[in-house]
Chain A
């Protein structure tokens, strides 16, 4: 996370226009800066004390044309007045006038101070000299590198480990170029800077040296921030005559609001953060008086500060502090950029996303918008230069609708049309695209369905769900819609395929399914789930017919007294002889279809504490029915019926038991007070008790078997024995 701290005013500014040669340069130590302003004055400030240490002005009529710089090797300040006069003075000099001056033969564009080296002098027509060599012979002829119309817009010196590089950009009739001047051996390389759209111009540049490369960052008036990486080592010299365009990458697209940026500046403050001034805050409308810190990795706004007064689009950064002139003051804003983590970035994203939707153009990027813009971008690309034919565009040609078009169509088209279109779309698109668009399409369809009660393209939904790329959070209303439309086939599919159904919705499904009449469900085709239910009930019949459960003379522990005090089960059709206590009521309490659907519900992932409150919504008959069904399943399972049924999806015993527990937890008092529940609960209890008894017996057996196993293993070896071994 990055943060801007409390700002303070360093000094007041004379109100010159933005064209004034206002500049801030580092001084001898980290806490001092040299400020040149209003064309006449040079002041040295101690930043932490906010006070000036020294100030020098030039005489009336003269004008500083290149900001003063500090020359570390000689501990002198250097300034250029009236474009040709170089003046050098020391800290203790009181007046510039009395200091050393030299008149050079060509117009100086700018001085650049370089740590531990002589300052560089860049002439208006592109020539470069070191200051000491220039002052040795001030009247030496200066060559002209640039043509007459080419104007330098920006320049910077970058000190690398060994090497020094001077970068400057020029403009000539709307064409922008970047020159890279290297020293020893001297080499000048020219690159063309592409503009990003027709009439945007680069507003600010910044060059930093990082990891062996020079990173050039430039901001266009359209709000795009590009980064170009220049190799520190000179690459193969470009073929003369052709000027290569500088390869670049879009780092960030800043929101510009209406119109274009006029005075703005972007400055990298560390690897992943840039400071931007003069660009509107994404949430605060069109006002541009903001200083913002953006994270370029995650494209998130990390911190912002509104600045009072006019913004000049100038920004400097020295030793962890940003220097911004605005209105009539120069503010110093300390900042901090921590290593950004995805979590931090996402956290910030969440805060702003609420208002994001409504504020028109995409400001803070969201997944949706990212995908969207990507798509349009690729389309533009393919339409424009025709360099790359994306898959999207090839599909365009084969008259297959794009997701956009389809979404539009969904809003108006008739059910049949839509169905057809969706089918075509699904058929024609790549899996990656589907992953991104399935949710959008489904949401669009659901919205249409909600708006228009007669519209329900069941087949389209089914196809979408079956792509496996849909999830509940992708289109939250789909499952509810299926319930509204009583489309249980689709509901079953959703329950099977969605992994992220909220507990509330699960409960809602459960409620709807339970309250439905069996007869109404019988028409629904539930495929596999139904087969399982059929098999389950059939095995029940088989085991009811004969006593196949009692091989080997097995006789279950007879719980006579319990049989006696259990009231005769009203639902049990054929009452069995009392000596067969485990053959409890084995008929399925619900229809096969309902059972199959309930099975799906049982297998939906959930967490107990979230499910429990929603379970309370069920009414007593529903609870009883569900509990009966669960008991039925449990009895069946305990007879080992399920393992004999081949089925892809079937609830496990644990799932069943968990649901029983949850249901009892949720409705304990209700069940205790409901007379109808009593018989059900007693029979359940009885069965559970017999099971517990069985398992405790098994535990005992395990203990003795274990002991047997151990006794065999640890053969007692005495102090001395003679054995025979055989080696092979």
Chain B
């Protein structure tokens, strides 16, 4: 295959932010993740935990909790506001102030009719969920001190609140404390001097209340009598979060040591009815506080200060070995944060609050900083476009020798207000901006500025946001993929939809249109590869062959999605893909690897004489030299750009964990 010059870039200081809350939507198997920087991410459990959506937010929101009500997602934060998200268009739908000071928790009842929020001022506020809004209904009896945690009884008639040193039960009908049956009680069996914070409570349908507190204990209470049934000392530090499974037989506990402890509701004597909560397993996948856990049928999902999203499968609930039985650790976003001008050798890094532009080839880099966030694109050393939640900006870039200057393009069409994805045509004449409801705005770029041309809309009328755009080299085609897994191809000459690629069950994680053949190459979250001929409106022969032959099991077992596809300008048969742990060049002329053949065969091939290599090589040239990849692209001059972000560097920037690992422990 040959030699490549590799630009090994490690100066992208990408720093993910800590996970603050998790929420699971069981019907559609979506997991919502709230991070400390205010973003909310939606993962699809059914689709290999693919990160389908990212909804940007503000750090000031200080999101504390998430709640699903049916398909709708709400969050609440320490700025005292409740946010509903527009999941179709990946943005905030509306924000309302709860007028109770910082909000510590938000939960919905099982019936989906009400939301309860726990506020700093000691009130639990009930909101009625309407079709398009939520409306304040009433305050439950006001308490002294903040309401840290809340949990509805599955019947919806009672709600339990965890506070400082105290757990209260409220009757939601009357709004009163259930004083008779359940007096407030002291949580502390230990020293009186220390305050005990009830970080998390769970109200089970049999009337048991489970609390996790800052004394490191998980306690089971009988809600009728207000008595302690059992107390488990789980950790020396805090128990931060609890999550009970749908069938209420299993409980996951997250601690600030970074451990997740599982409890199970088991009978102590075989075959007998009497069941007890028994501590069963401990998972140590985190180095820092576990701020949120979820019991998702066959797995425990956890996240915390160390920014990792960990899916720990419960092997007793999984029958066969496969994707579902592997530990999954999601560290990087499932989308590109790096954009690259292939001819000019420029790299653009997207940070949450600014962009950085770097030029390759020299040892010096140039930083350009902007204080906004979201999507970006640069092309052909002439333009940089980016969009934030609120606005869209276009800059003209001048790059001569070592002087880089940017000029803002002032007059932009009004329709370009905000974008989910931005893409330039290869000759920089057009700008494509993905907007709401799967529509794409097209604008012409010229010396004078930017002029709006038209809006492309899909035939299907899907309301989902576009998460990928790809324009063809000849300027004739544009492909868009949205989070409904639909891929739409537009004819740019006619400015009309051309065709729709058959919908695959798994989302598209990366795609690109081949410069010479105009085939759309797609990689899905379940690691399948498809190639679709735009002109013939059908899958290519190679794609069919891949489907027939099947991909190698080692390829399918990878647990990070491919996030970028590029082509070799010198050799049209070569496709460059990468995920977090490898990059790979697919040679479409070579035979596909057999199930029995060695998949990672680079070392073997290296040791072989030239003549034999041909016989043993297969289509997948895997390279695992570079690890923790954020971006790989093949430049115009056949050199590779590899952007690495070593996890060690991320870990080094985290605050010190509560539990320092001691030597030989």
A: residues with CB less than 8 A from B are 338-339, 341, 717-728
A718–B11 CA distance with the chains assembled, in angstroms: 9
Contacts known (A719-B11, A720-B8, A722-B8); A727 close to B271, Cβ less than 8 A: no
Q: Which residues of B contact A724 (CB under 8 A)?
A: 3-6
Complex contact A721–B1 (CB within 8 A): no
Complex contact A727–B8 (CB within 8 A): no
Contact of A725 among B270, B272, B365, B623 (CB under 8 A): B623
Contact of B5 among A720, A722, A728 (CB under 8 A): A722
Contacts known (A725-B6, A726-B2, A728-B617); A720 close to B605, Cβ less than 8 A: no
How many residues of B sit at the interface, in one of the four size bands? 20 to 34
Complex contact A726–B3 (CB within 8 A): yes
Contact of A728 among B7, B269, B621 (CB under 8 A): B621
Complex contact A723–B623 (CB within 8 A): no
A722–B10 CA distance with the chains assembled, in angstroms: 11
Chain B, 624-638, CB within 8 A of any chain A CB: 625
A339–B6 CA distance with the chains assembled, in angstroms: 68
A339–B271 CA distance with the chains assembled, in angstroms: 7
Contacts known (A728-B605, A728-B606, A728-B621); A723 close to B6, Cβ less than 8 A: yes
A339–B2 CA distance with the chains assembled, in angstroms: 69
Cβ of B87 within 8 Å of any chain A Cβ, yes or no, is no
Cβ of B363 within 8 Å of any chain A Cβ, yes or no, is yes
Contact of B363 among A717, A720, A727 (CB under 8 A): A720
The residue of chain A having its C-beta at the shortest distance from the C-beta of B604 within the complex is A728
Complex contact A725–B3 (CB within 8 A): yes
CB distance from B11 to the nearest CB of A (A): 4
Q: Which residues of B contact A717 (CB under 8 A)?
A: 8, 10
Complex contact A720–B585 (CB within 8 A): no
Contacts known (A338-B271, A339-B271, A725-B623); A718 close to B10, Cβ less than 8 A: yes
Identify 21 residue pairs between A and B in the complex whose beta-carbon atoms are under 8 Å apart, listed by A's number. A717-B10, A719-B10, A720-B7, A720-B9, A720-B10, A720-B365, A722-B6, A722-B7, A722-B8, A725-B3, A725-B4, A725-B640, A726-B2, A726-B606, A727-B2, A727-B4, A727-B585, A727-B623, A728-B606, A728-B613, A728-B621
Chain B, 1-55, CB within 8 A of any chain A CB: 1-11
A339–B1 CA distance with the chains assembled, in angstroms: 67
Complex contact B1–A727 (CB within 8 A): yes
Q: Which residues of A contact B7 (CB under 8 A)?
A: 720, 722
Q: Which residues of B contact A726 (CB under 8 A)?
A: 1-4, 606
Contacts known (A727-B621, A728-B606, A728-B613); A721 close to B8, Cβ less than 8 A: yes
Q: Which residues of A contact B613 (CB under 8 A)?
A: 728
Q: Which of A338, A717, A723 has most B Cβ within 10 Å?
A: A723
Complex contact A728–B9 (CB within 8 A): no
Bitwise, B248-282 to A at CB < 8 A (1) or not (0) is: 00000000000000000000011110000000000
CB distance from B519 to the nearest CB of A (A): 23
Complex contact A723–B8 (CB within 8 A): yes
Complex contact A725–B625 (CB within 8 A): yes
CB distance from B383 to the nearest CB of A (A): 25
Q: Which residues of B contact A341 (CB under 8 A)?
A: 270
Contacts known (A339-B270, A720-B363, A722-B5); A728 close to B602, Cβ less than 8 A: yes
A387–B290 CA distance with the chains assembled, in angstroms: 72
The residue of chain B having its C-beta at the shortest distance from the C-beta of A721 within the complex is B8
CB distance from A261 to the nearest CB of B (A): 33
A592–B6 CA distance with the chains assembled, in angstroms: 71
Query: With contacts A726-B2, A728-B606 known, what are 17 further pairs, Cβ within 8 A?
Result: A338-B271, A339-B271, A717-B10, A719-B10, A720-B11, A722-B5, A722-B6, A722-B7, A723-B5, A724-B3, A724-B4, A725-B3, A725-B6, A725-B625, A727-B602, A727-B623, A728-B1
The residue of chain A having its C-beta at the shortest distance from the C-beta of B587 within the complex is A727
Q: Which of A338, A718, A722 has most B Cβ within 10 Å?
A: A722
A727–B585 CA distance with the chains assembled, in angstroms: 9
A200–B91 CA distance with the chains assembled, in angstroms: 88
A727–B613 CA distance with the chains assembled, in angstroms: 11
CB distance from B218 to the nearest CB of A (A): 30
Chain B, 30-87, CB within 8 A of any chain A CB: none
The residue of chain B having its C-beta at the shortest distance from the C-beta of A718 within the complex is B10
Q: Which residues of A contact B602 (CB under 8 A)?
A: 727-728
CB distance from A345 to the nearest CB of B (A): 14
Q: Which residues of A contact B625 (CB under 8 A)?
A: 725
A727–B272 CA distance with the chains assembled, in angstroms: 62
Chain B, 219-271, CB within 8 A of any chain A CB: 269-271
The 7 A-B residue pairs with the shortest CB-CB distance in the complex, in nearest-first order: A728-B605, A727-B1, A719-B11, A339-B271, A723-B6, A721-B8, A727-B621
A723–B9 CA distance with the chains assembled, in angstroms: 11
CB distance from B157 to the nearest CB of A (A): 34
A728–B609 CA distance with the chains assembled, in angstroms: 11
Bitwise, B580-612 to A at CB < 8 A (1) or not (0) is: 000001000000000000000010011000000
Q: Which residues of B contact A339 (CB under 8 A)?
A: 270-271
A159–B501 CA distance with the chains assembled, in angstroms: 60
CB distance from A17 to the nearest CB of B (A): 42
CB distance from A58 to the nearest CB of B (A): 45
Chain B, 130-152, CB within 8 A of any chain A CB: none
Q: Which of A341, A717, A721, A727 has most B Cβ within 10 Å?
A: A727
Q: Which of B3, B8, B602 has most A Cβ within 10 Å?
A: B8
Q: Which residues of A contact B10 (CB under 8 A)?
A: 717-720
Q: Which residues of A contact B5 (CB under 8 A)?
A: 722-724
A338–B270 CA distance with the chains assembled, in angstroms: 9
CB distance from B6 to the nearest CB of A (A): 5
CB distance from B102 to the nearest CB of A (A): 40
A701–B1 CA distance with the chains assembled, in angstroms: 45
A726–B2 CA distance with the chains assembled, in angstroms: 6
A728–B621 CA distance with the chains assembled, in angstroms: 7
The residue of chain A having its C-beta at the shortest distance from the C-beta of B622 within the complex is A727
A618–B8 CA distance with the chains assembled, in angstroms: 73
The residue of chain B having its C-beta at the shortest distance from the C-beta of A339 within the complex is B271
A572–B264 CA distance with the chains assembled, in angstroms: 68
Q: Which of A718, A720, A721 has most B Cβ within 10 Å?
A: A720
CB distance from B401 to the nearest CB of A (A): 20
Bitwise, B362-381 to A at CB < 8 A (1) or not (0) is: 01010000000000000000
CB distance from A59 to the nearest CB of B (A): 50
Q: Which residues of B contact A719 (CB under 8 A)?
A: 9-11
Q: Which of B6, B272, B617 has most A Cβ within 10 Å?
A: B6
CB distance from A271 to the nearest CB of B (A): 12
The residue of chain B having its C-beta at the shortest distance from the C-beta of A728 within the complex is B605
A2–B2 CA distance with the chains assembled, in angstroms: 77
Chain B, 370-402, CB within 8 A of any chain A CB: none
A54–B652 CA distance with the chains assembled, in angstroms: 85
A719–B621 CA distance with the chains assembled, in angstroms: 26
A725–B8 CA distance with the chains assembled, in angstroms: 11
A722–B272 CA distance with the chains assembled, in angstroms: 67
CB distance from B206 to the nearest CB of A (A): 24
CB distance from B584 to the nearest CB of A (A): 10
A339–B625 CA distance with the chains assembled, in angstroms: 58
A725–B641 CA distance with the chains assembled, in angstroms: 12
A718–B625 CA distance with the chains assembled, in angstroms: 15
A341–B270 CA distance with the chains assembled, in angstroms: 10
Q: Which of A341, A719, A721, A728 has most B Cβ within 10 Å?
A: A728
The residue of chain A having its C-beta at the shortest distance from the C-beta of B364 within the complex is A720
Q: Which residues of A contact B363 (CB under 8 A)?
A: 720
The residue of chain A having its C-beta at the shortest distance from the C-beta of B621 within the complex is A727
CB distance from A728 to the nearest CB of B (A): 4
The residue of chain A having its C-beta at the shortest distance from the C-beta of B13 within the complex is A719
CB distance from B644 to the nearest CB of A (A): 8
A164–B602 CA distance with the chains assembled, in angstroms: 72
A726–B4 CA distance with the chains assembled, in angstroms: 6
A726–B272 CA distance with the chains assembled, in angstroms: 65
A724–B640 CA distance with the chains assembled, in angstroms: 10
CB distance from A339 to the nearest CB of B (A): 5
A722–B360 CA distance with the chains assembled, in angstroms: 10
CB distance from A727 to the nearest CB of B (A): 4
CB distance from A347 to the nearest CB of B (A): 16
